Amino acid sequence: GPFAGEGSPAPGLEPGDTVIVLDEKEHTDFRRRGTDLICQKDLMLVEALCGFTKAIKTLDNRQLLVHCLPGEVIPDKAIKCVMGEGMPVYRDPFEKGRLIIQFSVK
């Protein structure tokens, strides 16, 4: 691995490997599935029928605007995907997964 032989040496011994363990924390707005991020958004019936613009705060504190045009009816449990707004792909930080928005019509 990239940290092979980087551990603290002991007298008379070869340095061992450094092992890094990441503990993924729960997030209040997003769930992770591979490189995809999933969030839940509630819609009022009038929004689902007549269109809306919703702001979603991304993990890096940007405001992402999600639009639905009037006439584009959003049924309960509908999904919209925003490409490139998920988690970075392993070994390719410029490639990102999807942000999957699940709508719940109230």
- Enter the pTM of the model: 0.74
Q: What is the mean predicted confidence (pLDDT) over 95-99?
A: 95
Higher pLDDT, 24 or 26: 26
Percentage of the chain modeled with pLDDT above 90: 61
Encode pLDDT of 40-80 as tens digits: 999 999 999 999 999 999 988 999 999 999 989 999 999 99
Q: What distance in Å separates the CA atoms of residue 81 and residue 87, rounded to the nearest whole number?
A: 13
Percentage of the chain modeled with pLDDT above 70: 91
Question: Residue 3 above 80 pLDDT?
Answer: no
How many other CB atoms sit within 10 Å of the CB of residue 98? 19
Question: Residue 7 above 70 pLDDT?
Answer: no
Q: Counting every residue, how long is the chain? A: 106
Contact assessment for residue 100 and residue 106, using Cβ atoms and an 8 Å cutoff: no
